[in-house]
Amino acid sequence: MSDLPRDVFTAENVNDLLRYNNGTLYWRECRPGRVKASVLSENGYSYVSYKGSKIPAHRIVWLIHHGSWPDQVIDHINQRKNDNRIENLRDVSFSENSRNASRSAANKSGVTGVNWDSSRKRWRAQISIDGRKTNLGSFLVKDDAIKVRKDAELVSGYHQNHGSS
């Protein structure tokens, strides 16, 4: 995330400008009509706007608690984009972050990586490992496809919350 203006908030000034309370950021110096610093955006994440920059609140919370910007991507462990409590945040690679993704709204089977193959009249199980999709097999019984997918998630280091809604 090197495109973020890291000089807007620094380890030295962030605590002078903002205070953290249970996942929410507040301005230390109240601004007209604004006490809460983080604002919920249409994409579900909270942001802080300051000096012409819009910075994800979860990254600022990380800075406040660790004294440096995260090295990689911040994962919301419980998958709630606006839950910025420090215990819900972890600094992970993009690949690891994708192993804790919510189930897609377009998912019809109810289980990530399991879908109905109408041409073969079978349930298909797949998983992505290091950006490559791997076919885990096709099954007559949906529960068999689900079991194979869940077993592959365990072996591949997927987070226990992966695929939940």
Which tens digits make up the pLDDT trace of 18-68? 999 999 999 988 766 678 888 899 999 999 998 888 999 999 999 999 999
CATH code of the region 14-95: 3.90.75.20
The mean-pLDDT minimum among 56-70, 91-105, 115-129 falls in 91-105
Residue 90, pLDDT above cutoff 90: yes
What is the CATH architecture of 103-155?
Answer: 2-Layer Sandwich (3.30)
Q: What is the pLDDT of residue 165?
A: 62
Residue 145, pLDDT above cutoff 90: yes
The per-residue DSSP string of the chain comes to -TTS-TTTS-TTTHHHHEEEETTEEEEEEEETTEEE-EEE-TTS-EEEEETTEEEEHHHHHHHHHHSS--SSEEEETTS-TT---GGGEEEE-HHHHHTTPPPPTT-SSSSTTEEEETTTTEEEEEEEETTEEEEEEEESSHHHHHHHHHHHHHHTT--TTTT--
Backbone angles phi, psi at 130, to 5 degrees: 55, 40
Residue 115, pLDDT above cutoff 50: yes
Q: Taking the domains of the chain in order of start, what are their residue ranges?
A: 14-95, 103-155
Q: What is the pLDDT of residue 71?
A: 95
CB 15 within 8 A of CB 64: yes
Q: What is the pLDDT of the chain when averaged over all its residues? A: 88
Residue 7 Cα distances to 56, 68, 71, 87, angstroms? 14, 12, 16, 25
The mean-pLDDT minimum among 3-7, 85-89, 92-96 falls in 3-7
Residue 1, pLDDT above cutoff 70: no
pLDDT bracket for residue 2 (50, 70, 90): very low
Take residue 66 and report the two structure tokens written for it.
């660790």
Residue 4, pLDDT above cutoff 70: no
